[in-house]
Amino acid sequence: GENVEQHPSTLSVQEGDSAVIKCTYSDSASNYFPWYKQELGKGPQLIIDIRSNVGEKKDQRIAVTLNKTAKHFSLHITETQPEDSAVYFCAATSGGADGLTFGKGTHLIIQP
């Protein structure tokens, strides 16, 4: 089955700086890679996703890149703000509407 590794487990950045979270996956058949943001006491919230036929996708201050050859994908947050503080999860799935395999999460801390 799929295995997703996520790094770092904790990331502290100054407000206004950029943050990068990286994930690798094992199953070359995986073709959908979402990112979720989870705040304390809430369910994961889908913030951006990318499919295997695309190398990069942007949505305002967040972007995701995918390298299929190396089997890794990354989340980039620019101009970080206090409300970006949360736990971020990457995930992968092999297509259709199958269940997601999640990374272990990154606790992002935005320092004022």
Partner 1 sequence: DARVTQTPRDKVTEMGQEVTMRCQPILGHNTVFWYRQTMMQGLELLAYFRNRAPLDDSGMPKDRFSAEMPDATLATLKIQPSEPRDSAVYFCASGFHNEQFFGPGTRLTVL
Q: Under the rule (CB under 8 A), what is the footprint of partner 1?
A: 32, 34, 36, 42-46, 49, 51, 89, 93, 95, 97-105
Q: With contact defined as beta carbons under 8 Å apart, do 70 and 5 qualify?
A: no
| In the complex, minimum distance from the CB of residue 61 to partner 1, in angstroms, rounded to a whole number | 21
Give the CA angle between residues 77, 83, 86 to the nearest 5°.
Answer: 75
Nearer to partner 1, 27 or 49 (CB): 49
Q: How far is the CB of 15 from partner 1 (least distance, A)?
A: 28
Give whichever of 58 and 104 is closer to partner 1, judged by the CB atom: 104
| Interatomic CA distance for residues 24 and 43, integer angstroms | 23
Quick one: 79 or 98, whose CB is closer to partner 1? 98
Mapped onto helix, strand or coil, the DSSP state of residue 84 is helix
d(CA 34, CA 97): 13
**Least separation in angstroms between CB 4 and partner 1:** 10
CB 94 within 8 A of CB 31: yes
- Among residues 80 and 86, whose Cβ is nearest to partner 1? 86
CB of 92 to partner 1, least distance (A): 11
